[in-house]
Amino acid sequence: MFFNRIISTIFFLQLFVLMSSCNSDENSSQNPPQNSIDVVSTYGGSKNDGAQSITYTNDGGYAILGYTQSNDGDITDKPQEGYDYWVLKFDSSNTLQWSKTYGGSADDRGNKITQTQDGGYAILGYTYSNDQDITINSGLQDYWLAKLDATGNISWQESFGYAGLDNGISFTQTDDNGYLLVGALDVTASGGAGNTRTHNSQHAGGDYWAIKLDSSGSIQWSKYYGGSFTDTPYDVVQTEDNGYIIVGSSDSNDVDVSNNKGEYDFWVIKISETGELLWEKTYGGTQIDEARSIAATNDGNFIIVGDTRSNDLDISQNFGGADVWVIKTSPLGELIWEKSFGGSSFDVSRSIKTTQDNGFLISGQSRSSEGDLTNNQGQNDAWVFKINSQGSLIWQKSFGGSNVDYALDAIELNDNSVISVGESESNDGDIIENKGFNDVLLIKINE
């Protein structure tokens, strides 16, 4: 009898452990674990400073591009205040190796950095200057691209633009060691200049402007795409056939843009190696939807991320005021699947990057504290999350303080840690120190 009681007790204990394990697994899938924060740092001076882009480097470290208005604090090479590009290079141990600023006496701000195939860097943004590092300015605001060596010295630089506001937003180094730049062209101010393709229809406002450069920065071709209203590109990838897919937003419904679904849409175009428009697609609903970033998948397709305020047409679900919206498309632009992420308030994304296990890191900001989010420190928090190849949420983390904090880009390092960069106005919560009005925000997350 005693022996039977022991057997029964063991059986019920095993059953309890098994049921607890099942419940634990179920809860884990519904509530992805929060990652521990190893490092939260701010960099800057007494004015406005921020980070826009990060690139992995071949020594296992990373480099950050942003802007700085300061000439004190962590900024040591500027003679006066004013906005300049700012590059910070870190090693694999998150130690700052060097920091340099670039620009002229007017307003110059960097948008995108990548390490080039020769171990140096290319940095793109816009400039209002025509002195110091910038030799030519054709109007109010021009694209400005600078090629740096491995230690941050300028090897060459070029500006591109006309009389209006022309902003270099993103680029990719091409397979021939050249560059494909994309940004916004003020077509009205340029009077139609900037287009080497034949187009009989008139454009107006702002258009996608693609500029193909050779390895030394000389223009090979320059073409713009869009309609009569506002068309703004935010990212570009090169495709296997040496063409390009450019993503952004459009509220046009004429010239190159067809099938506008309501206000701004994701507008995705495929161009050939020489810039001919091969196809264009719009995705979205009847409200504002803007694509911000694109990445190639390991199965030959593409993932595009942005934000949506819609809850109809292509968008199957909306959690609040604005959601992060992710779509997967074929090389021909066919919609494979779409998913929304967020909470009941405003949640948006700014970049998507691949991970070593074929997942994706998405960076943005959130005002929500429920839904896919678990907390909010106040106003906008920086938000970084990971999805797998099917779009399922693996983990998410928001961080910030009582003021406005953004995550604008993120990468995965060799050790599977995640480095996210952005901007912060806080000096509480997760943010230990604020050095001025706005600081560069750097966070390291362990998976």
The H or E element that residue 132 is part of is: none
Residue pLDDT, tens place only, 438-447: 999 999 998 7
Q: How many other C-beta atoms are found inside a 10 Å radius of the C-beta of residue 60? A: 12
Q: What is the pLDDT of residue 192?
A: 86
Tokens of 44: 């800057």
Q: Which of 331, 235, 231, 206 is nearest to 279 (CA)?
A: 331
Q: Which value, to the nearest 10 degrees, does the dihedral of the CA atoms of residues 349, 351, 354, 355 take?
A: -70
Three-state secondary-structure class, residue 35: coil
pLDDT bracket for residue 193 (50, 70, 90): confident
Whether the pLDDT of residue 221 is over 80: the answer is yes
pLDDT bracket for residue 38 (50, 70, 90): low
The rounded distance, in Å, linking the Cα atoms of 334 and 411 is 27
Q: What is the pLDDT of residue 37?
A: 53
Contacts with 243 (C-beta within 8 Å, 6 or more apart), sequence order: 270, 271, 272, 273, 278
pLDDT bracket for residue 79 (50, 70, 90): confident
Range 8-35 average pLDDT? 38
Q: What is the pLDDT of residue 446?
A: 86
Range 39-45 average pLDDT? 94
Q: What is the pLDDT of residue 184?
A: 97
Range 218-245 average pLDDT? 97
The rounded distance, in Å, linking the Cα atoms of 294 and 271 is 15
Range 346-368 average pLDDT? 97
- Is 36 in contact with 430 (CB distance < 8 Å)? no
As to burial, measured by CB atoms within 10 angstroms (0-12 exposed, 13-18 middle, 19+ buried), residue 24 is exposed
Calculate Rg over the CA atoms of the chain: 23
Contacts with 194 (C-beta within 8 Å, 6 or more apart), sequence order: 162, 185, 187, 209, 222, 223, 224
* Mean pLDDT for all residues in the chain: 91
| CA distances for 74 relative to 44, 98, 340, 404, 435, angstroms | 5, 11, 39, 21, 9
* Residue spans per domain, the chain: 38-445
**Strands (DSSP E) along 142-264, which ranges?**
142-148, 154-160, 167-173, 179-186, 206-213, 219-225, 231-238, 244-250
The H or E element that residue 163 is part of is: none
Three-state secondary-structure class, residue 26: helix
Contacts with 279 (C-beta within 8 Å, 6 or more apart), sequence order: 269, 270, 332, 333
- Is 239 in contact with 232 (CB distance < 8 Å)? no
Contacts with 33 (C-beta within 8 Å, 6 or more apart), sequence order: 395
- Is 91 in contact with 157 (CB distance < 8 Å)? no
The rounded distance, in Å, linking the Cα atoms of 147 and 397 is 34
Q: What is the pLDDT of residue 8?
A: 40
Q: What share of the chain is helix, strand, coil (3-state, %, to 5)?
A: 5, 45, 45
Range 137-143 average pLDDT? 93
Three-state secondary-structure class, residue 102: strand
Q: What is the pLDDT of residue 36?
A: 54
Residue pLDDT, tens place only, 296-336: 999 999 999 999 999 999 999 999 999 999 999 999 999 99
pLDDT bracket for residue 378 (50, 70, 90): confident
Whether the pLDDT of residue 188 is over 80: the answer is yes
- CATH superfamily for domain 38-445: YVTN repeat-like/Quinoprotein amine dehydrogenase (2.130.10.10)
Q: What is the pLDDT of residue 175?
A: 97
Whether the pLDDT of residue 33 is over 70: the answer is no
Handedness of CA 341, 327, 409, 354 (dihedral sign): positive
Percentage of the chain lying above the pLDDT 90 cut: 84
Residue pLDDT, tens place only, 304-313: 999 999 999 9
Range 163-184 average pLDDT? 97
Range 100-112 average pLDDT? 98
Range 285-294 average pLDDT? 98
- Is 132 in contact with 146 (CB distance < 8 Å)? no
Q: How far apart are the first and last CA of the chain?
A: 51
Range 287-294 average pLDDT? 98
As to burial, measured by CB atoms within 10 angstroms (0-12 exposed, 13-18 middle, 19+ buried), residue 332 is exposed
pLDDT bracket for residue 202 (50, 70, 90): low
State which amino acid sits at residue 298. Answer: N
